[in-house]
């Protein structure tokens, strides 16, 4: 703990010196002389006068340093029975040609490119090509429906959209092109072109004049060199669910992001050049951005893109197979994946078939790691199982066990201690700092370290309004928790309307908007309830307009279908109950927290401001039934 404590304290008391030193691990066209620009407090800018290129740092410099023949990316796709490997030199060649193709279509520094792709190497190639040109990518998770894609296209206003003809969900081919076409039909913004990577499992119908085949676009292109950008220029926009119905575009800069991720690879993940790092997530989520694409490549490691599931592709030994086949040192995934494996192979019998000798660490994040899954994975694998906590907004862990710096004993249920640069505090409801041990809102004292979001895309004031105004000088994480006497942080869950379904972050407000738009619905509430596999799943409760005579079952099925069609299958909404009334306070606030606790079998006090206690009691049998 001593080494960690010293490093952490220095990162907080002397952030300029600390991160100025860390920045030396990155190659700059112009070295920053201003490490932290504090002039626009509460907005802080890291490496304000530095110039660099993220793609150069992820690819070119490794080739220039003689590591061109090292493996950069391994693609393993049980769903399409395909495998491929790219050295750093090969990946650089693919990326610089694709960057040339984008440039031929008029994509330049600052232009946006929306990427809607499955887990294939072309997704990473497209992201890195944007970074090479100084263009801003916005990757949209393939599990989102056309309407969600349209919202993001409208907000990001891309010059080009990059997609593939299909994704594959276990054994189901999901055609992407009809979804893109529907999204572009709905969106008021029209990109000039759409580049389509044709996969053999489905051939996309092309729109003449607008759609271009990936291979042809690359064939026609010369290579594009890296464009120097300001450290503070945006690298990407990633939309995430907030407390409102509309997703927020989290903007990540170039310089701070590269410095933070590079630091994290050796100090937190203890994974070094030439070693194999596997984040079993999706490029559509922040974990995929940071730890499938950017961090492992910045650090000169080998990264794995796995197009499959923890179970069913073909069995619960899939993760062990990948680990042994490629000599994975570090696996990073969500607890839900491990719960799925545990359910299918509770005694871990399949593990015996594989050579796990190179495997050193299992990192888990995305949702609370329940102590049972922690114990099961620890006993089975015999390596440290590390819970760590972070958010799309921060882009890298806020709390973790620093395995490369000063490993500490784990405490089940805790993501260990604040990461260097994160000054984490607990506040009570009155806005005062809570004593050690007391539960409260988790806040982070500003400035946040490098790598965290710099703004909300398209709305200059939103970042301050949504995150920095609750208690001036502090960033509101939206999570609740406490510190124990040893300084370990415990993160207990969201205190707002965000839910986590199988590690996917969703807003109950967004689901409610879809339910409320149904012509028969008068009012509704969506709550996240505990689920053994997915951590949480949403449940809907709707009150119908008076005079509606159609059957509840019919309406409920329509509502479930609407959510699936408009938001996406990942929402996993399976239960919508028609009820007589919703419990509210006298001021009209729906008592979601009380409904949720009844559904989870925990009793919490009913607020004295409840309007009609009988409504909540009447709902009890419905809430308890699932």
Kindly list the residues in this chain that would bind ligand COA in the complex (CB under 6 A): 142-143, 167, 169, 174, 280-282, 285, 287, 309-311, 333-334, 336-337, 340, 366, 502-503, 533, 569-570, 572
Q: 32: Cβ–Cβ under 8 A, 6 or more apart, which residues?
A: 20, 23, 47, 48, 49, 50, 231, 255
Which one of the spans 28-36, 275-283, 360-368, 427-435 is the region binding ligand AMP (CB under 6 A)?
Answer: 360-368
Is residue 478 part of the contact set for ligand AMP (CB under 6 A)? yes
Is residue 398 part of the contact set for ligand AMP (CB under 6 A)? no
C-alpha dist (Å) from residue 128 to 15, 70, 108? 29, 18, 14
Tokens 């500490």 found at:
408
Is residue 94 part of the contact set for ligand AMP (CB under 6 A)? no
491 is in the binding site of which of ligand COA, ligand AMP, none (Cβ under 5 to 8 A by kind)? ligand AMP
In the complex with ligand COA, the residue whose CB is nearer, 561 or 589, is: 561
478 is in the binding site of which of ligand COA, ligand AMP, none (Cβ under 5 to 8 A by kind)? ligand AMP
In the complex with ligand AMP, the residue whose CB is nearer, 72 or 286, is: 286
Q: What is the rounded CA–CA span in Å between residue 32 and residue 52? A: 10
19 is in the binding site of which of ligand COA, ligand AMP, none (Cβ under 5 to 8 A by kind)? none
Q: What is the rounded CA–CA span in Å between residue 597 and residue 554? A: 28
Q: 612: Cβ–Cβ under 8 A, 6 or more apart, which residues?
A: 581, 583, 584
In the complex with ligand COA, the residue whose CB is nearer, 20 or 503, is: 503
In the complex with ligand AMP, the residue whose CB is nearer, 447 or 481, is: 481
Q: CB 27: neighbour CB atoms within 10 A?
A: 15
CA 587 to chain centre: 35
Cβ–Cβ < 8 Å for 329, 353: no
C-alpha dist (Å) from residue 490 to 99, 260, 315, 398, 559? 43, 23, 33, 12, 36
**Shortest spacing between CB 502 and ligand COA, in angstroms:** 3
C-alpha dist (Å) from residue 8 to 389, 418, 441, 600? 17, 8, 22, 38
Binders in 406-425 for ligand AMP, by CB under 6 A: 415
583 is in the binding site of which of ligand COA, ligand AMP, none (Cβ under 5 to 8 A by kind)? none
Cβ–Cβ < 8 Å for 34, 49: yes
DSSP state of 449: -
DSSP of 378-422? HHHH-S-EEE-B--TTTSS-SEE--TTT------TT---EEPTT-
In the complex with ligand AMP, the residue whose CB is nearer, 366 or 447, is: 366
Helices 552-566, 508-516: inter-axial angle, 10-degree rounding:
130
In the complex with ligand AMP, the residue whose CB is nearer, 119 or 287, is: 287
In the complex with ligand COA, the residue whose CB is nearer, 96 or 572, is: 572
Is residue 392 part of the contact set for ligand AMP (CB under 6 A)? yes
**Shortest spacing between CB 536 and ligand COA, in angstroms:** 11
525 is in the binding site of which of ligand COA, ligand AMP, none (Cβ under 5 to 8 A by kind)? none
In the complex with ligand COA, the residue whose CB is nearer, 133 or 311, is: 311
281 is in the binding site of which of ligand COA, ligand AMP, none (Cβ under 5 to 8 A by kind)? ligand COA
Q: What is the rounded CA–CA span in Å between residue 323 and residue 358? A: 8
Q: 149: Cβ–Cβ under 8 A, 6 or more apart, which residues?
A: 114, 116, 140, 179, 180, 183
Which one of the spans 5-13, 16-24, 386-394, 565-573 is the region binding ligand AMP (CB under 6 A)?
Answer: 386-394
Q: What is the rounded CA–CA span in Å between residue 77 and residue 121? A: 10
143 is in the binding site of which of ligand COA, ligand AMP, none (Cβ under 5 to 8 A by kind)? ligand COA
**Token pair recorded at residue 72:** 């950069």
In the complex with ligand AMP, the residue whose CB is nearer, 389 or 427, is: 389
HSE (side-chain half, CA atoms, 13 Å) at 484: 13
301 is in the binding site of which of ligand AMP, ligand COA, none (Cβ under 5 to 8 A by kind)? none
Q: What is the rounded CA–CA span in Å between residue 65 and residue 168? A: 37
C-alpha dist (Å) from residue 33 to 17, 24, 53, 148, 351? 11, 12, 17, 41, 51
Binders in 267-286 for ligand AMP, by CB under 6 A: 286
**Shortest spacing between CB 395 and ligand AMP, in angstroms:** 9
505 is in the binding site of which of ligand AMP, ligand COA, none (Cβ under 5 to 8 A by kind)? ligand AMP
In the complex with ligand AMP, the residue whose CB is nearer, 134 or 242, is: 242
**Shortest spacing between CB 490 and ligand AMP, in angstroms:** 9
C-alpha dist (Å) from residue 397 to 242, 482, 490, 491, 621? 19, 17, 14, 13, 40
- Binding residue for ligand AMP, selected from 155, 270, 275, 367, defined by CB under 6 A: 367
**Shortest spacing between CB 333 and ligand COA, in angstroms:** 6
**Shortest spacing between CB 291 and ligand AMP, in angstroms:** 11
148 is in the binding site of which of ligand COA, ligand AMP, none (Cβ under 5 to 8 A by kind)? none
Torsion region of 449: left, alpha or beta (phi above 0 gives left; psi -120 to 50 gives alpha): beta
**Shortest spacing between CB 294 and ligand AMP, in angstroms:** 15
Rule CB under 6 A: which residues touch ligand AMP? 240, 286, 365-369, 387-392, 415, 478-479, 491, 494, 500, 505
């Amino acid at each position: 703990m001593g080494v960690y404590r010293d490093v952490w304290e220095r990162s907080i008391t002397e952030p300029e010196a600390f991160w100025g030193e860390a920045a030396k691990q990155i190659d700059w066209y112009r070295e920053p002389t201003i490490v932290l620009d504090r002039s626009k407090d509460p907005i802080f800018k890291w490496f304000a006068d530095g110039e660099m290129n993220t793609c150069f740092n992820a690819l070119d410099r490794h080739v220039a340093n003689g590591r061109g023949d090292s493996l950069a990316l391994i693609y393993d796709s049980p769903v399409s029975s395909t495998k491929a490997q790219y050295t750093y030199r090969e990946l650089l060649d693919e990326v610089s040609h694709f960057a040339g193709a984008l440039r031929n279509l008029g994509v330049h520094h600052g232009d946006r490119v929306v990427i809607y792709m499955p887990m294939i190497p072309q997704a990473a190639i497209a992201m890195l090509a944007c970074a090479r040109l100084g263009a801003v990518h916005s990757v949209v998770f393939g599990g989102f429906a056309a309407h969600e894609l349209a919202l993001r296209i409208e907000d990001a206003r891309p010059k080009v959209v990059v997609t593939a003809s299909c994704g594959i969900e276990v054994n189901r081919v999901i055609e992407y092109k009809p979804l893109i076409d529907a999204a572009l039909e709905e969106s008021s913004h029209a990109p000039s072109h759409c580049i389509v990577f044709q996969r053999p499992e489905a051939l996309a119908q092309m729109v003449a004049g607008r759609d271009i085949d990936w291979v042809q676009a690359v064939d026609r292109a010369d290579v594009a060199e890296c464009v120097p950008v300001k450290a503070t220029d945006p690298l990407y926009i990633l939309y995430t669910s907030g407390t409102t119905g509309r997703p927020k575009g989290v903007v990540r800069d170039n310089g701070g992001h590269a410095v933070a991720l590079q630091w994290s690879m050796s100090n937190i993940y203890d994974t070094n050049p030439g070693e194999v790092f596997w984040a079993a997530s999706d490029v559509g989520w922040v974990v995929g951005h940071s730890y499938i694409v950017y961090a492992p490549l910045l650090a000169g490691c080998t990264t794995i893109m796995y197009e499959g599931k923890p179970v069913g592709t073909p069995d619960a030994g899939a993760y062990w197979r990948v680990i042994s086949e490629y000599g994975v040192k570090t696996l990073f995934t969500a607890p839900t994946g491990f719960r799925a494996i545990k359910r299918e192979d509770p005694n871990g019998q399949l593990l015996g078939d594989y050579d796990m000798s190179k495997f050193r660490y299992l990192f888990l994040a995305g949702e609370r790691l329940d102590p049972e899954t922690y114990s099961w994975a620890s006993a089975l694998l015999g390596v440290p199982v590390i819970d760590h906590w972070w958010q799309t907004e921060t882009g890298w862990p806020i709390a973790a066990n620093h395995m490369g710096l000063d490993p500490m004993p784990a405490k089940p249920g805790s993501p260990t201690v604040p990461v260097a640069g994160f000054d984490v505090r607990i506040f009570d409801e009155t806005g005062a700092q809570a004593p050690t041990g007391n539960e409260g809102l988790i806040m982070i004292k500003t400035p946040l370290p490098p790598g965290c979001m710099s703004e909300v895309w398209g709305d200059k004031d939103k970042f301050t309004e949504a995150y920095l105004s609750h208690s001036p000088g502090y960033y509101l994480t939206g999570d609740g928790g406490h510190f124990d006497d040893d300084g370990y942080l415990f993160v207990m869950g969201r205190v707002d309307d965000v839910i986590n379904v199988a590690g996917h972050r969703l807003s109950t407000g967004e689901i409610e908007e879809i339910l409320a738009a149904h012509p028969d619905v008068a009012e509704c509430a969506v709550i996240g309830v505990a689920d053994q596999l997915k951590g949480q799943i949403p449940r809907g409760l709707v009150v119908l307009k008076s005079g509606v005579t159609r059957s509840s079952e019919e309406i409920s099925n329509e509502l479930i279908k609407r959510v699936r069609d408009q938001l996406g299958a990942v929402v996993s909404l399976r239960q919508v109950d028609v009820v007589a009334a919703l419990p509210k306070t006298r001021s009209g606030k729906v008592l979601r927290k009380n409904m949720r606790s009844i559904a989870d079998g925990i009793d919490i006090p009913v607020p004295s401001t409840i309007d009609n206690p009988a409504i909540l009691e009447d709902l009890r049998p419905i809430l308890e039934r699932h």
